Chains A and B, each alone.
Chain A
């Protein structure tokens, strides 16, 4: 079992650009959550996907959007990137009544 995988590992973008991050959940998991971890901070919940729909959302602007595919994998899209979007983006997968497993993260740098 590969666990939760994320791609790419690192990414450098310029202000105003758009970025897509990808996550494959652990085998058997159907729920994917995304978190933003700024340097020196704890992870902040962005949103959660279940059955291809956004089920919950944290306090993030509409520039942050996502998608879940029929195979439960997920994408996080960020439009109009700001310097403050530089962070480690973590994906976590789970299934009903089971704990969440975190992926290794994607380090996004906006210049």
Chain B
């Protein structure tokens, strides 16, 4: 089946620290991969995406590379800010089904 596994949180970092949030997936087809961010009390915002192997998605200093050989899509940022504190969700979508499978989310707390 289709599923996403991401590292459990919370992850607590100091401002300007390096961030990695691990995400691995299983898929019956050839998925597109996404990272969404959810701030407290809000819905989901697309952070970045990648649609084929070796693609790198990037946005606002965050990056993730679609690794087909390891079925992974780890999220990284070189220097986090307090404003990055949120819950991050890894997700996959099988092309043409237009339906997301989400991981359980990783809460990030960044301290000043």
B partners with A: yes
Contacts of A58 in B (CB 8 A): 99
Closest to A105 in B: B43
Contacts of A43 in B (CB 8 A): 44, 89, 100, 102
Contacts of B102 in A (CB 8 A): 35, 42-44
Residues A45 and B100 in contact in the complex (CB < 8 Å), given A90-B43, A90-B44, A105-B43: yes
B46 at the interface (CB under 8 A from A): yes
- Interface size class on chain B is 10 to 19
B98 at the interface (CB under 8 A from A): yes
Contacts of A105 in B (CB 8 A): 42-43
Closest to A42 in B: B102
Which of A42, A45, A48, A90 lies in contact with B105, CB distance below 8 A?
A42
Does A33 contact B101, Cβ atoms closer than 8 Å? no
Nearest Cβ distance between residue B110 and chain A, in whole angstroms?
A: 20
Give complex CA distance A94, B34 in Å: 15
Does A103 contact B101, Cβ atoms closer than 8 Å? no
- Classify the interface of chain B: helix, strand, loop or mixed: strand
A28 at the interface (CB under 8 A from B): no
Contact with A along B71-112 (1 / 0, CB 8 A): 000000000000000000101000001111111110000000
Closest to B44 in A: A102
Nearest Cβ distance between residue B3 and chain A, in whole angstroms?
A: 10
Residues A94 and B89 in contact in the complex (CB < 8 Å), given A42-B105, A99-B49: no
Chain A interface residues toward B at CB < 8 A? 31, 33, 35, 40-45, 48, 56, 58, 90, 92, 94, 99-105
A-B contact pairs, 12 of them (CB 8 A): A33-B100, A35-B100, A35-B102, A43-B100, A44-B102, A45-B101, A90-B44, A99-B49, A100-B98, A102-B43, A104-B42, A104-B43
